[in-house]
């Protein structure tokens, strides 16, 4: 907190020399925290360096304006607040670096996680391993099976023409002597679209997700948050009970169970008796 409270004391008109000193002190204490957050976003060393320097530049900008926003007498601790700010900057860096190219309408109607997978595989040309690591930052529940499901959903949506467009745009070059295991020649081969998407299965899946979305809207905001923290953010029951001040993990578990039961009842009332969308 020492460095943080020193930063707070600075006001916009202070001399440049003082700012440099404050910046030096801040970096000595918090550069490792920044790098730690950056490492969660990127593995490639060049990208890590780029992202780290971008974050530092943004924090230093306008005479440390972002850092001076922190209120030393406020409720948040400086390291937690700084992690949040650095995460936002890492997301900004990603957007600046890779942009958000327009995706096909058929893909835009898929869940956010699928859109992220699509961008990684088709725009950034990442391997499945890299995609898993990258998407996990924003969708922590994604695992290998989830990624395979996501890719299947994407392939089902891509028409042959779209697939051709994607393959012909920015062709991915690989060294003949390169390591196929990391760069994903095999991955690329598996990326070939399924020539026969199953429209019935797709429609059933969409109906189910729409109904689930409605059912989620029908439960209380607190219950919704419980479910999101548990199943979207992959937090443990203990973490959730601490965060939402529920007392014990058991209480968190019971509340989650109650919320799931209500959703199940809602779905049954809507005539959805099976979640299995593989066999409509």
User: Smallest Cα–Cα separation from 113: which of 95, 87, 140?
Assistant: 140
Binding positions for another protein, 58-77, rule CB under 8 A = 60-63, 69-71, 74-77
Residue 174 or 210: the one with the smaller Cβ distance to another protein is 210
> Interface residues for another protein in 111-140 (CB under 8 A)?
111-113, 115, 137-140
User: Which residues, numbered 37-56, are part of the site for another protein (CB under 8 A)?
Assistant: 37, 39-40, 49, 52-53, 56
Q: Could you give the CA distance from residue 100 to residue 174 in angstroms, rounded to a whole number?
A: 24
| Min CB(154)–another protein separation in Å | 13
Q: What share of the chain is helix, strand, coil (3-state, %, to 5)?
A: 70, 0, 30
Q: Give Cα separations from 116 to 112, 123, 142, 222, 252 (angstroms).
A: 6, 10, 11, 27, 30
Binding flag, residue 245, another protein (CB under 8 A): yes
Q: Contact between 83 and another protein (CB under 8 A)?
A: yes
Neighbouring residues of 54: CB distance < 8 A, sequence distance ≥ 6: 89, 92, 93, 96
Our finding on whether 268 is near another protein (CB under 8 A) is: yes
Size of the site for another protein (CB under 8 A): 86
Report 150-209 residues binding another protein (CB under 8 A): 208-209
Find the shortest distance in angstroms from Cβ 176 to another protein: 32
Q: Which is nearer to another protein, 203 or 209 (CB)?
A: 209
Piece in contact with another protein (CB under 8 A), picked from 121-129, 163-171, 173-181, 215-223: 215-223
Nearest to 23 by CA among 1, 56, 72, 55: 56
216 binds another protein (CB under 8 A): yes
Q: Using CB under 8 A, which of the segments 120-128, 170-178, 186-194, 259-267 binds another protein?
A: 259-267
């Amino acid at each position: 907190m020492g460095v943080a409270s020193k930063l707070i004391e600075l006001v916009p008109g202070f001399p440049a020399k003082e700012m440099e000193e404050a910046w030096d002190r801040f970096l000595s204490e918090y550069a490792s925290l920044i790098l730690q957050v950056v490492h969660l976003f990127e593995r490639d060393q060049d990208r890590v360096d780029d992202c780290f320097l971008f974050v530092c530049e943004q924090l230093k900008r306008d005479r440390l304006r972002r850092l001076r926003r922190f209120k030393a007498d406020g409720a948040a601790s400086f390291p937690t607040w700084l992690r949040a700010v650095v995460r936002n900057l890492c997301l900004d860096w990603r957007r600046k670096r890779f942009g958000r190219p327009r995706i096909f309408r058929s893909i835009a109607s898929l869940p956010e996680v699928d859109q992220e997978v699509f961008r990684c595989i088709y725009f950034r040309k990442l391997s499945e391993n890299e995609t898993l690591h990258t998407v996990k930052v924003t969708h922590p529940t994604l695992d290998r099976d989830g990624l395979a499901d996501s890719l299947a959903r994407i392939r089902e949506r891509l028409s042959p023409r779209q697939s051709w467009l994607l393959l012909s745009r920015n062709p991915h070059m690989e060294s003949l002597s390169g390591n196929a295991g990391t760069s994903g020649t095999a991955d690329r081969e598996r990326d070939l679209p399924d020539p026969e998407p199953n429209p019935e299965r797709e429609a059933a899946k969409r109906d189910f997700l729409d109904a689930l979305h409605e059912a989620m809207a029908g439960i209380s905001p607190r219950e919704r948050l419980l479910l999101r923290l548990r199943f979207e953010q992959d937090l443990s029951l203990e973490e959730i009970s601490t965060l939402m001040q529920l007392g014990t993990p058991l209480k968190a578990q019971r509340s989650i169970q109650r919320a799931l039961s209500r959703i199940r009842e809602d779905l049954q009332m809507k005539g959805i008796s099976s979640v299995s969308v593989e066999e409509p």
